[in-house]
Amino acid sequence: MIPRTLYGEEHEIFRASVRKFLEQECAPHHERWEEEGNIDREVWNKAGAQGFLCPTVPEEYGGAGTDFLYNCVIDEEIAGAGLSGIGWGLHNDIVAPYLVNYGTELLKQKYLPRMATGEIVSAIAMSEPGAGSDLQGIKTSAVREGDHYIINGSKTFITNGYLSDLVIVVAKTDPAAGAKGTSLILVEAGMAGFSKGRKLKKVGMKAQDTSELFFDNVRVPAENLLGEEGMGFVYLMQELPQERLSVAVNAIAATESALRLTVDYVKERKAFGKPVSAFQNTQFKLAEMDSEVSAMRVFIDRCIELHLQGKLDIPTAAKTKLLSTDLQCKVMDECVQLHGGYGYMWEYPIARAWADSRVQRIYAGTNEVMKIIISRALLG
């Protein structure tokens, strides 16, 4: 593998602590979490105590004020260990920045410190039964009534939804204004009319709690509005590059891990009297995958560098999401094939990794949407 130059000594010390925590507090329980459909709530509190939640949040709001590389370390270690049930990435990389960038001082002081300790588990509610990647097609409404918004509608496929204490709800405050009528509003668990549906049973990522959310005349204080009314779609577009980069970071880490697992397996597994690694087809497949994964790692690391400099644009983020997740699914499939029948057995990590990978091409905007974004940048 090509040596990485992104991370300094402090990042690697942090990585070691994250890895140890995952090995001790998460890996032994993940199979049970897959059966239950969510991780233990206490793990969030333990992670907060170790500084693994909201590291980039400024110190005055309970975070560590670090650079985004610390988020990347956490994402890489979780993905590399196959612990797909842990929803810290969404909490750290996606939800927290909305509060930091668009929340009032009151909202920052009220929520961010408790997000950093794990007292609050957060989620963002974009997708609806009739609107996924098409965010302009959402139907959930938020009508201003005095000092409150009245929210009605439903959301689905919401990561951290079942355990969530705080949800950013994407809603239409002016249905007639199209994208300009979209706003972001914070809703707390326990507010009258806000309910959570069943934990959704997924093909992969079985330990990650994903649920439906329902809003029936939920009265939310107007002060819970993030930023300005009607600016929600703009805010979403501004934050999506980091979300798509996070998906890519997870993709390449999981892909590298799957390749390592497969190299180890083919050395040990025998067929026709010799190790599977002795066959030319195996050697060629591994060489092809390793070459493509190395190239992808260089591209993603460059995108991380651009993001740290504030230069990662929307089309480039779309490219990294598109290419990394396509490669992830391709490599996972090849790795399962090289495992033979055992690759299809749930007890083998490669089977879990294969199942977990498929949704990467769907969420954070489908890969077809990524192609639209890229082509528009090309054609004007």
Decide: 199 and 209 in contact? Cβ < 8 Å.
Answer: yes
191: tokens are: 């507010």
Backbone angles phi, psi at 343, to 5 degrees: -65, -15
**By C-alpha distance, which of 340, 301, 339, 337 is closest to 320?**
301
C-alpha closest to that of 357 among 276, 227, 255, 285: 255
279: buried, middle or exposed (CB in 10 Å: 19+, 13-18, 0-12)? middle
Task: Give the integer Cα–Cα distance in Å for 188 and 191.
Answer: 6
Residues 168/186, Cβ–Cβ less than 8 Å: yes
Hey, which residues are catalytic here?
Answer: 243
* Radius of gyration of the chain from its Cα atoms, rounded to whole angstroms: 21
Q: In 10 A of CB 330, how many CB atoms?
A: 15
Could you tell me which residues come within 8 angstroms of residue 293 by beta carbon, excluding any fewer than 6 positions away?
Answer: 252, 255, 256, 259, 327, 331
